[in-house]
Amino acid sequence: MTTRATLSVEGQPYTYYSLPAAEKQGLGRIDRLPFSIRVLLENMLRVAESPDGATLLGAEAEATLRALASWQPQPEPREIPLMPARVILQDF
């Protein structure tokens, strides 16, 4: 699956991973998912499409992406990997 795209703002290119592109490639109706699940899905796409993505997500990367894209509010005994690019902590 290839969802990597580039957005140019004032001549500066920015790379992102397009959820609409993932939807067009058969990942399911991503637009109906809660925002928090979409953030997790974008994170997994970024990791899966990285050079070492297969190593990080394992052989079941595509199955894991599809499981998250078909998320339902009922609990499921499946775990998904989370590999954040940044950690933002609130400091009071």
Q: What is the pTM of this model?
A: 0.75
Measuring CA to CA, which residue among 6, 27, 90, 17 is closest to residue 47? Answer: 17
**24 phi/psi in degrees, rounded to 5:** -65, -25
Residue 52 lies in a domain: yes
Residue 74 lies in a domain: no
Predicted local distance difference test score (pLDDT) of residue 52: 64
Structural contact between residues 20 and 59, judged by C-beta atoms closer than 8 angstroms? no
Q: Which domain holds residue 23?
A: 4-69
Predicted local distance difference test score (pLDDT) of residue 76: 77
C-beta atoms surrounding 66 within 10 Å: 14
Residue 58 lies in a domain: yes
Residue ranges of the chain with per-residue pLDDT less than 50: none
> Domain total for the chain?
1
C-beta atoms surrounding 71 within 10 Å: 19
Residue 43 lies in a domain: yes
Predicted local distance difference test score (pLDDT) of residue 9: 96
Residue 18 lies in a domain: yes
Residue 78 lies in a domain: no
Predicted local distance difference test score (pLDDT) of residue 55: 58
Residue 87 lies in a domain: no
Predicted local distance difference test score (pLDDT) of residue 20: 93
Residue 79 lies in a domain: no
